Structure 1
Amino acid sequence: MSVQERKQRERAVRERLIVATARELAEQQGWDAVTTRRLAERIEYSQPVLYSHFRGKREIIGAVALEGAAEMAVAVRAATAGASGPRERVTALARTYLDFAARNPAVYDALFQLDGGLAFAVEETPEPLKDAFASLLESLGEVAGDGVRPGLFTEVFWASLHGLATLTRAGRLLPEDVESRVELLVDRLAVV
């Protein structure tokens, strides 16, 4: 292994450490607790080293969001792969999405609430975000109904899930009705 390869590998390891530490801190104490000073202390590197990887908190939020998008895509695909039919796939997708949002609030915020400097729904959208949307489209496209563009249907269904996730987390919806909401959403929107 050349010196250059070793340095690149060490740099990648440091970058993963920064992202993992930011994510852990945000999940424990919220994004306000994530500062470059605190991250530098936790990873035991100087702030200039941290800045050599990320220009600031915004880019770190973006990195956490991209990691989370990839994880969500994997979770959705795994949940829908074993379903026996379209209705079961859509129900599994909805449950998995809501569970991901509930179990990973800081990641979910990085994806959809905070400014991580990421572009959505444009040519420059990073691949992990495109893939997360594709993981939804794979199951939802087949239940969009006649004359409805699958992408448009996926956006509306996703927006509904996002609303449910956000309102439940904010305490605006009763948590015991999550399953009833999923069933209603699937019954009313998905054409199966």
Structure 2
Amino acid sequence: MAIDDRRERERAARRRLIVTTARTLAEAEGWDAVTTRRLSSEIEYSQPVLYKHFAGMEQIADAVAIEGFDELAKAVDAAQSGSGSGGDALGRITHAYLDFARDNPAVYDAMFTRATGLRFAADDTPPQLEEAFAAVRQAVAAVADERDADTLTEVFWAALHGLVTLTRAGRLRAGHDSDRVRLLVNEFADRSRPRR
């Protein structure tokens, strides 16, 4: 039994090393630099060892994405812990989301822009994706009133993703980030406007 436990710990450590190395390379040099050949060289294991853990690069990038969703959920949860109105919490999670995307561009790409087998709102959705959505939904639900919180969360998330993507591509005016965030939060949190 002890030998099996040790082997499983070693296997988990190798898997962790592969994911960490892929993430480090992607953040430093972009996803094009992350190949199974490069990974095997960096971690000093043969390519067949990598394939014992992952079927290919897509699965490695998915593992990085799952790790990113876990981290994003924790960042959003931490941002909600302060006091204030629902709009205040929505503003804090907006900043936490945008900061996460800015600080982890390759991880964010793995989560949202690379081709992936990961799916939201499906029977096989990994729990880390569900937890990230639930963390954002919690803040959105606090300002949803009679509106459908799930749909509102999807639209809010899409708006956040749009801000990340357009900002990274240089498609938005510099120096107006805080204005955009304030407008976005106010649009979702303003309960005084009539709803259709």
Q: TM-score range by the shorter chain?
A: over 0.9
Secondary structure of the residue aligned to 1:143 is: coil
State the alpha-carbon separation in 2 of the partners of residues 89 and 100 from structure 1. 16
Moved more, 66-75 or 83-92: 83-92
The secondary structure found in structure 2 opposite 1:76 is helix
Structure 1 runs of 4+ off > 2 angstroms?
A: none
Give the residue type in structure 2 aligned to 1:164. L
Count of residue pairs the alignment pairs up = 191
Tell whether the 8 Å contact from 1:83 to 1:92 is kept in structure 2 after alignment: no
Distance 1:101 1:87, change over 3 A: same
State the Cα deviation string for residues 104-153 of structure 1 (Å, max 9, x = none). 1000000000123212221211110000000001111111232x110000
| Map 1:20-35 → 2, pairs under 5 A | 20-35=20-35
Show the 5 A alignment for 1:67-86: 67-86=67-86
Cα distance in 2 for partners of 1:71, 1:171 equals 26
- Structure 1 partner of 2:167: 168
For 1:17 and 1:32, locate their aligned partners in 2 and report how far apart those are by CA, in whole Å. Answer: 19
Distance 1:178 1:83, change over 3 A: farther
| C-alpha distance after superposition, 1:138-177 (max 9, x if no partner) | 111111232x110000000010000001100111113421
Q: Aligned partners of 2:83 and 2:172: how far apart in 1?
A: 28
Relative to the length of structure 1, the TM-score reads 0.96
Matches of 1:82 and 1:180 in 2, distance apart? 22
The alignment partner of 2:19 has SS state of helix
Q: Secondary structure at the match of 2:175?
A: helix
Rounded to whole Å, the distance in 2 between the matches of 1:174 and 1:71 is 29
Segment of structure 1 superposing worse, 117-126 or 49-58? 117-126
Give the AA of the match of 2:162: G
Equivalence for 2:126? 126
Number of the residue aligned with 1:159:
158
Q: Using the TM superposition, name which of 136-145 and 26-35 deviates more.
A: 136-145
Please give the residue correspondences for 1:9-24 in structure 2 after superposition, counting only pairs within 5 Å: 9-24=9-24
Segments of structure 1 that go 5 or more residues without pairing to the other structure are: none
The one-letter code of the counterpart of 1:22 is: A
Q: CA deviation at 1:85?
A: 1.9
Conserved in 2, the CA contact under 8 Å of 1:66 and 1:129? yes
What are the ranges of 5 or more consecutive residues in structure 2 without an aligned counterpart?
A: 192-196
- 1:104-143 matches, cutoff 5 A: 104-143=104-143
**Paired amino acid for 1:176:** G
Contact 1:137 1:154 (C-alpha < 8 Å) held by counterparts? yes
Partner of 2:149: 150
Distance 2:22 2:176 in 1: 32
Q: Deviations over 1:33-78 (max 9, x none)?
A: 1000000000010000011000000000100000000000000110
Cα separation, 1, equivalents of 2:41 and 2:184: 45
Partner of 2:38: 38
